Amino acid sequence: MDSLDMQVLSAVQRWTADGHKVALVTVAKTWGSSPRPPGAWLALRDDGTVQGSVSGGCIEDDLIARMRDGRISGTQPFALSYGVTKEEATRFGLPCGGTLELVVEPAPDVAALSAMTGLIANGQLALRTVDVNQGTVSYAHGSRGDAVQWAEGKLTTVHGPRRRLLIIGAGQISFYLAQMALPLDYEVIVCDPRVEYSSAWQVPGTELRTDMPDDAVLALNLDPNSAVVALTHDPKLDDMALLEALKSPAFYVGALGSKLNNDKRRARLQQYFDITTEEAERLHGPVGLPIGSRTPPETAVAILAEMTAVKNGVGATFSRNRPGTPASQRA
């Protein structure tokens, strides 16, 4: 669940406790270019105050107007579409003729939302299904691999820490990368068997493992919502973890180091281990976007930017022959 969605949950509960009428709006489906993905939430208070987002702003203005003039009322959830025509898309500021289909709940069950918040706080996944036809909302435990579904008037959304980031190495770059990944709602696991590094690790909200990195990769049973970044610069640690990660369905696998060293790493993995050329080419190395990073925080930004691009399916294949490799990755 995005950190923004946790803010929405908190707002719904807080505003209701203060005596306000609150509606909950969820993105059910998008066509074309849309600013927010299916499952994104918006909490809408009776005075027009909002928390969260379902678009770039213009649709929110229309939803506020609907709330204020009473068009969002009662208890029955309903579907609402924007951008069905080119003129409407232009009116609401949807780029490239985008279309949004929303599910609006004029009176969400706050007690149930509070219970779901408890599940998420305990690190569990939750499925929430809104049946527009029946006017019901149900909850169930989720599992990794569950996805947003919208069909025949039923919207099922997945809430909880759906993405994981395994960082190999507990050095400086890892320190900044872990801190930046947490607000993006990654479950962050740091693995470093070197006591000189692991004993000094202090990033609240992360899990520290001291087993061998390849054992950690296998134990985590990586899925398509997992990412692995190797940052030790020690082939004995990085390569064994990458060997297992590249064979997994993880959506992103990256390694620190220069283009030359990463090319050698790909060749080494193929020559001595059962890594195919296709699997070796999945490695993002040098890791991160080429933004000219020179410091550990800048390198962490570059890594998260590339991870986000890959996750969202908008990242072009960035050339490994790019000039100006950051100093932090030249070794």
Residues 84 and 200 in one domain: no
Q: Report how far apart the first and last C-alpha atoms of the chain are (Å, whole number).
A: 36
Give the residues across from 284 on adjacent strands: 254
The tokens 């993105």 sit on which residue? 27
Query: Range with the lowest mean pLDDT among 14-23, 164-173, 322-331?
Result: 322-331
Question: Average pLDDT in the 54-83 region?
Answer: 89
pTM of the model: 0.67
Euclidean distance between CA atoms 205 and 185, whole angstroms:
11
**DSSP per residue, 220-268:** HT--TTEEEEE-S--HHHHHHHHHHHTTS--SEEEE-S-HHHHHHHHHH
Counted domains in the chain: 2
Residues 85 and 201 in one domain: no
pLDDT, the chain, mean: 87
180 burial via Cβ count (<10 Å: 0-12, 13-18, 19+)? middle
Euclidean distance between CA atoms 264 and 262, whole angstroms:
5
Q: Where are the alpha helices (DSSP H) in 122-248?
A: 172-181, 195-198, 213-220, 235-245
Final residue in a domain of this structure, among 128, 159, 190: 159
Q: Fill in the amino acid letter for 308.
A: T
Residue 59: what pLDDT?
86
Residues 316 and 217 in one domain: yes
Per-residue pLDDT at 189 exceeds 50: yes
DSSP state of 202: -
Dihedral-angle region of residue 139 (phi above 0 means left; psi in -120 to 50 means alpha; beta otherwise): beta
Q: What percent of the chain has pLDDT over 90?
A: 65
Residues 197 and 249 in one domain: yes
Is 209:216 a contact under the CB 8 Å cutoff? yes
Per-residue pLDDT at 330 exceeds 70: no
Residues 52 and 94 in one domain: yes
In whole angstroms, how far apart are CA 64 and each of 69, 83, 103? Answer: 9, 17, 15
Final residue in a domain of this structure, among 159, 187, 216: 159
Residue 282: what pLDDT?
94
Is 47:65 a contact under the CB 8 Å cutoff? no
Q: Could you list the residue range(s) of the whole structural domain that residue 76 is in?
A: 3-159
In whole angstroms, how far apart are CA 110 and each of 14, 15, 35, 113, 119? Answer: 10, 10, 27, 5, 14
Predicted confidence band of residue 331 (pLDDT cuts 50, 70, 90): very low
- CA neighbor of 41 nearest in space, from 183, 153, 185, 157: 157
Residues 131 and 173 in one domain: no
Final residue in a domain of this structure, among 120, 138, 159: 159
Residue 243: what pLDDT?
93
Per-residue pLDDT at 223 exceeds 70: yes
Query: Range with the lowest mean pLDDT among 14-28, 69-83, 257-271, 311-325?
Result: 311-325
Residues 152 and 172 in one domain: no
The tokens 């909880």 sit on which residue? 160
Question: Average pLDDT in the 224-231 region?
Answer: 93
Q: What percent of the chain has pLDDT over 70?
A: 86
Residue 92: what pLDDT?
59
Residues 251 and 302 in one domain: yes
Residues 62 and 200 in one domain: no
- CA neighbor of 104 nearest in space, from 135, 140, 138: 135
Is 255:238 a contact under the CB 8 Å cutoff? yes
Residue 35: what pLDDT?
67
Phi, psi of 152 (to 5 degrees): 50, 40
Predicted confidence band of residue 93 (pLDDT cuts 50, 70, 90): low
Residues 52 and 38 in one domain: yes
Residue 325: what pLDDT?
44
Count of all residues that appear for the chain in the document = 331
Residues 184 and 147 in one domain: no
The SS3 call for residue 167 is strand
Q: How many CB atoms lie within 10 A of CB 262?
A: 22
Question: Average pLDDT in the 239-243 region?
Answer: 93
Please compute Rg for the chain using Cα positions.
22
Euclidean distance between CA atoms 68 and 45, whole angstroms:
9
Per-residue pLDDT at 151 exceeds 70: yes
Tokens of 30: 């998008």
Predicted confidence (pLDDT) per residue in 49-61, tens digit: 999 888 867 789 8
Is 288:305 a contact under the CB 8 Å cutoff? yes
Predicted confidence band of residue 33 (pLDDT cuts 50, 70, 90): low
Task: Name the residue with higher pLDDT: 266 or 1.
Answer: 266
Residue 95: what pLDDT?
54
- CA neighbor of 8 nearest in space, from 46, 42, 54: 42
Residues 40 and 65 in one domain: yes
Predicted confidence (pLDDT) per residue in 263-306, tens digit: 999 999 999 888 999 999 999 999 999 999 999 999 999 999 99
Q: In what order do the strands lie in the sheet with 99-105?
A: 50-52, 41-45, 22-31, 99-105, 78-82
Per-residue pLDDT at 180 exceeds 60: yes
Looking up residue 233, the CATH number of its domain turns out to be: 3.40.50.720
